[in-house]
């Protein structure tokens, strides 16, 4: 029998989203989280060739900074994990070299942000270099982790049980994530994470909704949130298929 999953976005932008998934086990939810961090390939600078570096930083320090600049990752099928793309940079001081000064040999691979500072160059200082990017996975190096934040919490259901007794002080009740109230999904940020702000004068009960998890995912701009989630699910499916084939041999 095929499992039925239900996905509903609570908040969403290109780089950050909060969404609810129903019908999954804790193990599967954690598998998706780990796959987003470790198994989705992204482009990052791997090798740097310096033509001129008269700044105050060593080549190795600049290479590290360049390697951590997030790059857009092409759609599936455009590149394989052995392919490379070359980026170049040539900035002369007095000026600040930014990620936006990187010029790519392929339009599909560009700095995800143009305003990441690399080095502040003074008079008569220059940075000229070429860099090769590679497509690899986050489990090999943190610079390939497209998801800079990936976590989940149980969806919690709220029930009002009674009024607070007349002479009893109302206590703060802090909760973070998303609550479900009469079928409505409400981010706790809307009431400053304090249930006493949303339900003043009320006694309430909270319970975890079984097999319902709220994910909070933020990317570095390599690709949109929806894509990193679907790519993570694809990697789990691929590994499951490999295991099934291996068991049948």
**Closest to 154 (Cα-Cα) out of 10, 2, 21, 3:** 21
Report d(CA 118, CA 111) in Å as an integer.
12
Terminal CA-CA length for the chain: 24
Residue 47 lies in a domain: yes
- pLDDT above 60: residue 3: no
Residue 242 lies in a domain: no
34 shares its domain with 153: yes
Return phi, psi of residue 244, to 5°. -60, -45
Report d(CA 131, CA 62) in Å as an integer.
11
* More confidently predicted of 130 and 188: 130
88 shares its domain with 49: yes
pLDDT in tens, 10-60: 888 888 999 999 998 999 899 999 999 999 989 999 999 999 999 999 999
Looking at the DSSP bridge assignments, the partners of residue 120 are 96
The pLDDT of residue 1 is: 35
* More confidently predicted of 1 and 226: 226
Residue 53 lies in a domain: yes
Please give the tally of structural domains in the chain.
2
At residue 167 the predicted structure's pLDDT band, cuts being 50, 70 and 90, is low
Residue pair 187/10 in contact (Cβ under 8 Å)? The answer is yes
Supply the CATH number for residue 105's domain: 2.170.120.12
Q: Which residues contact 67 (CB under 8 A, 6 or more apart)?
A: 44, 45, 46, 48, 143
Range of the domain at 120: 43-137
Residue 220 lies in a domain: yes
**Could you identify the residue written with the tokens 């909760």?**
175
**Could you identify the residue written with the tokens 């002080």?**
169
Mean pLDDT of the chain: 88
The pLDDT of residue 218 is: 93
28 shares its domain with 48: no
Residue 245 lies in a domain: no
Read off the DSSP letter of residue 183: T
Looking at the DSSP bridge assignments, the partners of residue 179 are 156, 186
- N residues, the chain: 249
Percent over 90 (pLDDT), the chain? 44
The pLDDT of residue 161 is: 80
The pLDDT of residue 68 is: 93
Q: List the beta strands (DSSP E) in 13-146.
A: 16-22, 42-53, 84-92, 95-98, 103-104, 117-121, 126-136
The pLDDT of residue 249 is: 60
Report d(CA 20, CA 29) in Å as an integer.
11
61 shares its domain with 126: yes
pLDDT in tens, 61-102: 999 999 999 999 887 777 766 778 899 999 998 999 999 999
């Amino acid at each position: 029998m095929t499992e039925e999953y239900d996905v509903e976005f609570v908040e969403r932008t290109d780089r950050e989203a909060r969404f609810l998934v129903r019908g999954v086990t804790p193990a599967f939810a954690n598998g998706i989280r780990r796959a987003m961090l470790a198994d989705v390939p992204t482009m990052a600078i791997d090798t740097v060739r310096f033509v001129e570096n008269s700044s105050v930083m060593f080549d190795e320090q600049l290479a590290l900074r360049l390697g951590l600049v997030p790059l857009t990752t092409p759609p599936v099928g455009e590149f394989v994990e052995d392919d490379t793309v070359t980026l170049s940079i040539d900035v002369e001081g007095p000026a600040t070299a930014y990620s936006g000064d990187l010029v790519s040999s392929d339009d599909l691979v560009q700095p995800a942000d143009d305003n990441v500072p690399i080095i502040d160059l003074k008079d008569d200082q220059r940075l000229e270099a070429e860099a090769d990017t590679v497509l690899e996975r986050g489990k090999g190096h943190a610079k390939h982790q497209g998801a800079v934040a990936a976590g989940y919490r149980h969806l919690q259901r709220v029930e009002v049980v009674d009024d607070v007794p007349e002479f009893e002080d109302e206590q703060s009740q802090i909760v973070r994530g998303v609550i479900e109230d009469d079928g409505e999904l409400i981010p706790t940020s809307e009431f400053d994470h304090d249930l006493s702000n949303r339900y003043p004068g009320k006694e309430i009960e909270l319970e975890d909704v079984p097999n319902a998890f709220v994910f909070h995912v933020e990317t570095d701009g390599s690709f949109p949130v929806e894509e990193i989630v679907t790519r993570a699910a694809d990697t789990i499916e691929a590994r499951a298929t490999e295991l099934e084939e291996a068991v049948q041999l």
